[in-house]
Amino acid sequence: MIVNEQVAVDHGLKKDEYKKICDLLKRIPNITELGIFSAMWNEHCSYKSSRFHLKNLPTEGKNVIQGPGENAGVIDIGDDDAIVFKIESHNHPSFIEPYQGAATGVGGIMRDVFTMGARPIANLNSIHFGSPQHKKTKNLLRGVVRGIGGYGNCMGVPTIAGQTSFDESYNGNILVNAMTLGLVKKNKIFYSKAAGLGKPVIYVGSKTGRDGIHGASMASAVFDDKIEEKKPTVQVGDPFSEKLLLEACLELMSGDSIIAIQDMGAAGLTSSSIEMASKGNLGIEINLNKVPCREANMTPYEIMLSESQERMLIVLEKGKEEIAQKIFDKWNLDFAVIGKTNKSKKIELYFNEEKVANIPVNTLVENSPMYERKWRKAKLPKKIKIKKEQFKNLKIITVLNKILSNPNVCSKEWIWQQYDHTVMGDTIQKPGGDSGVVRIHGTDKAVAASVDSSAVYCWAHPLSGGKQIVCESWRNLISVGAQPIAITNCLNFGSPENEENMGEFVECVQGLGEASLFLNFPVVSGNVSFYNQTKDIGIKPTPVIGGVGLIKNYRNMVTMDLKESDNLLLVIGKTEGHLDQSLFARDILNEKNGPPPEINLFNEKNNGETILRLIDKKYIRSAHDISLGGIITALSKMCIKGKKGATLKKPKHLISQFEYLFGEDQGRYIIEIDKNNFKNVATILEENSVHFDELGTIGENDLIIDDKSKVSIDDLIKSHTTWLTNYMSK
């Protein structure tokens, strides 16, 4: 095939990018080379629109062992233990083929983690669907949940937490973000930097097939009417092979044979070989005839661009081939020496004794395009003056039941019951709490993890929204008694070529950077997913934050279920009654304008740290952060979980009852304490200048808000648990 500008454009490259390739090579690339360039230079692999802004994120901290730039981030959790973690999107494939798309998303992120030598110990996911009324939503949800379960369950890694949301902006472009945490000893972390000349380059895992060719390019394009034609670009997962690959890799890693290792994820053999060569500042030559192929007559182009799953590339110490081969034979996996490192600083590919590609590595990596896209700053919307008359006809209990059964608030048990969340025997807080928590096997330590996003806030004002999610992630970790350590982010946005969407990206990133810097909660890994749109309509900006924290002694973990009658309930943090962009305003009053709640980073930090102090002193019996739906929604969930009631005190605030109960002011928590400890707790809170209010006391069977508003816990449970099950069984 003759390569020209049109062929390049068909590969998703821009005309000037094609010109740049010809200039860099000082010749016209052949088709294999063009394929390689298109794979490396697409948005998904090159971060060409985002790099400029991502470099401003805080990525360092005293517990950070490895920040962004490797397969995953690594943090220190003491005693030579480290946690490797990352979140990644698999949005486009999941919309085209929900089961395989979601499954391979989970498989891909687990591979990123065990590539670094860590055994995966927990999975999380953040999934976002269109309106429940949209004709595709139900099938997509069912397929995605089955896919996530199908892969994670088979791998034997517990899925400990997640988030599911519904919003019409995802009607034509769902989001599937998967996160994995792995455990590794600090001195056994593996990296992707190749080193040494003449070292064997090894291919292990499944065979290479024709699936997923151009997957990464597909993920970098806008959906149009012909998405069905893109089905063949979705990879097909085989969790059984991945389980074998995991065990085989960890077995090989226990020795000293590996110099560098990289999984074949997006853009397969292309990106893995180039990444290793680039980091090691050397060249790699590969004989493509040696690559184990599933199908006959695969061309160099297909072999290099296949995204077949469950494959790894390893640079091995010379002479260790036999030891390594034995291990992979034991696990019935393919093993092939396909090339070696050299000093050429080029990727040199041979096929049928012919050189079929010869590209300097730096042209693919350092010289890849970087764009400073145009973007528009978002104005802070004017505050809406909600008229008090609008509340007149509303009954608190009716509103509360409506909110508890709202698709974005209701119980997601139908989903997480399909995920094995207890395998490995260390899950101490299962899905449905503020964070999932797993014990570090055989120790007193535990790690907590949570995934969060607030697309509505980000849409209303990206800068505030960006800050808010980092804070929410922080609060979810604090609420279980974990010291927050670091985050990973998955930045899901519309087209970077649209100034408004690009502006959302820039300002969300700025917001999340500010918050993570202030909270000392650095970003150690992440992923950007642009072009989440169908035709011209972009999704609501949806940065997803995965937060990880440490509980030094798992027995001190806090849960949100109310524990004991007569105990006192306090609201930590100030309640101002902010209703704009709240669930109450949007879904009950149908008011979609106005600014999201303000973020006060000082209060966030101070409130959170003070709560940790109270937990340390064992004053807190249960805790829950206040988010979507305000105080009363948070309290109802605590009642539901603990099967306990509560009686509220009359608030001192000069705001309406609806603002008090449903307002979504930030930086707040509800905590349960023993009455006898009130004085001590109040002293600590006052000493630390933390605002608090008495919310009420715990009772037996009913939630009593005032003389006129009382509801049984059984009714609350019904409102909270039935919506999703009913929806899915219809």
Instruction: Spell out the residues 6+ positions from residue 539 whose beta carbon is closer than 8 angstroms to its own.
Output: 128, 169, 170, 173, 175, 455, 492, 493, 494, 532, 533
Q: Which of the stretches 69-77, 154-162, 315-323, 635-643 binds other proteins when contact is defined by CB under 8 A? A: 154-162
One residue of 11, 199, 230, 243 binding other proteins per CB under 8 A: 243
Q: Which of the stretches 235-243, 496-504, 542-550, 672-680 binds other proteins when contact is defined by CB under 8 A? A: 235-243
Closest CA to 333 of 243, 456, 425: 243
Decide: 701 and 710 in contact? Cβ < 8 Å.
no
What does the radius of gyration of the chain's CA atoms come to, in whole angstroms?
Answer: 26
Size of the site for other proteins (CB under 8 A): 30
Q: 251 or 348: whose CB is closer to other proteins?
A: 251
Distance in angstroms (rounded) separating the CA atoms of residues 239 and 724: 28
Determine if 199 is a binding residue for other proteins (CB under 8 A): no
Decide: 80 and 184 in contact? Cβ < 8 Å.
no
Residue 270, phi then psi, degrees to nearest 5: -60, -60
Distance in angstroms (rounded) separating the CA atoms of residues 151 and 128: 19
Structure tokens at 622: 């249960």
Q: 122 or 291: whose CB is closer to other proteins?
A: 122
Q: What is the DSSP string of 223-241?
A: B-TTGGGGGGGS----HHH
Q: To the nearest whole angstrom, how small is the minimum distance from the Cβ of residue 605 to other proteins? A: 30
Q: Which of the stretches 200-208, 365-373, 418-426, 616-624 binds other proteins when contact is defined by CB under 8 A? A: 418-426
One residue of 166, 331, 350, 474 binding other proteins per CB under 8 A: 331
Q: Which of the stretches 60-68, 143-151, 227-235, 361-369 binds other proteins when contact is defined by CB under 8 A? A: 143-151
One residue of 76, 420, 604, 702 binding other proteins per CB under 8 A: 420
Distance in angstroms (rounded) separating the CA atoms of residues 160 and 438: 8
Q: Which of the stretches 222-230, 236-244, 312-320, 524-532 binds other proteins when contact is defined by CB under 8 A? A: 236-244
Decide: 403 and 633 in contact? Cβ < 8 Å.
yes
Q: 74 or 446: whose CB is closer to other proteins?
A: 446
Closest CA to 83 of 69, 70, 68, 66: 66
| SS3 at position 35 | helix
One residue of 419, 474, 521, 692 binding other proteins per CB under 8 A: 419
Q: To the nearest whole angstrom, how small is the minimum distance from the Cβ of residue 129 to other proteins? A: 18
| 90 has catalytic annotation | yes
Determine if 602 is a binding residue for other proteins (CB under 8 A): no
One residue of 161, 244, 378, 471 binding other proteins per CB under 8 A: 244
CA dihedral 671, 675, 676, 682 (to 10 degrees): 50
| 653 has catalytic annotation | no
Distance in angstroms (rounded) separating the CA atoms of residues 172 and 355: 43
Q: 117 or 594: whose CB is closer to other proteins?
A: 117
Q: Which of residues 678-707 bind other proteins (CB under 8 A)?
A: none
Positive or negative: CA dihedral 644, 649, 650, 653: negative
Q: To the nearest whole angstrom, how small is the minimum distance from the Cβ of residue 701 to other proteins? A: 20
Per-residue binding letters, 517-556, with other proteins (x by CB under 8 A)? -------------------------------------xx-
Closest CA to 376 of 500, 464, 465, 539: 500
Decide: 451 and 177 in contact? Cβ < 8 Å.
yes
Determine if 425 is a binding residue for other proteins (CB under 8 A): yes
Q: Which of residues 427-456 bind other proteins (CB under 8 A)?
A: 427-428
One residue of 307, 426, 504, 659 binding other proteins per CB under 8 A: 426
90, 128, 578, 624: the catalytic one is 90
Closest CA to 529 of 159, 29, 88, 107: 88
**What's at 397, amino acid-wise?**
I
Q: Which of the stretches 35-43, 142-150, 320-328, 502-510 binds other proteins when contact is defined by CB under 8 A? A: 142-150
**What's at 515, amino acid-wise?**
A
Determine if 96 is a binding residue for other proteins (CB under 8 A): no
44, 92, 128, 624: the catalytic one is 44
Per-residue binding letters, 102-141, with other proteins (x by CB under 8 A)? ----------------------------------------
One residue of 417, 683, 689, 726 binding other proteins per CB under 8 A: 417
Q: What is the DSSP string of 458-508?
A: HHH-HHHHHHHHHHHHHHHHHHTT-EEEEEEEEEE-S-TTSHHHHHHHHHH
Q: To the nearest whole angstrom, how small is the minimum distance from the Cβ of residue 692 to other proteins? A: 29
Q: 153 or 235: whose CB is closer to other proteins?
A: 153
One residue of 332, 352, 393, 676 binding other proteins per CB under 8 A: 332
Decide: 651 and 618 in contact? Cβ < 8 Å.
no
Q: 406 or 427: whose CB is closer to other proteins?
A: 427
Q: To the nearest whole angstrom, how small is the minimum distance from the Cβ of residue 154 to other proteins? A: 4
Distance in angstroms (rounded) separating the CA atoms of residues 335 and 328: 6
Q: To the nearest whole angstrom, how small is the minimum distance from the Cβ of residue 687 to other proteins? A: 32
Q: 39 or 140: whose CB is closer to other proteins?
A: 140
Q: To the nearest whole angstrom, how small is the minimum distance from the Cβ of residue 649 to other proteins? A: 33
Instruction: Spell out the residues 6+ positions from residue 6 whose beta carbon is closer than 8 angstroms to its own.
Output: none
Determine if 424 is a binding residue for other proteins (CB under 8 A): yes
Q: 289 or 553: whose CB is closer to other proteins?
A: 553
One residue of 72, 84, 154, 620 binding other proteins per CB under 8 A: 154
Q: Which of the stretches 151-159, 196-204, 365-373, 464-472 binds other proteins when contact is defined by CB under 8 A? A: 151-159
Q: What is the DSSP string of 499-560?
A: HHHHHHHHHHHHHHHHHHHHTT--EEEEEEE---EETTEEPPPEEEEEEEEEESSGGG---S
Q: Which residues bind other proteins (CB under 8 A)?
A: 146, 149-150, 153-156, 238-241, 243-244, 331-332, 416-428, 554-555
Q: Which residues are the active-site residues?
A: 44, 90
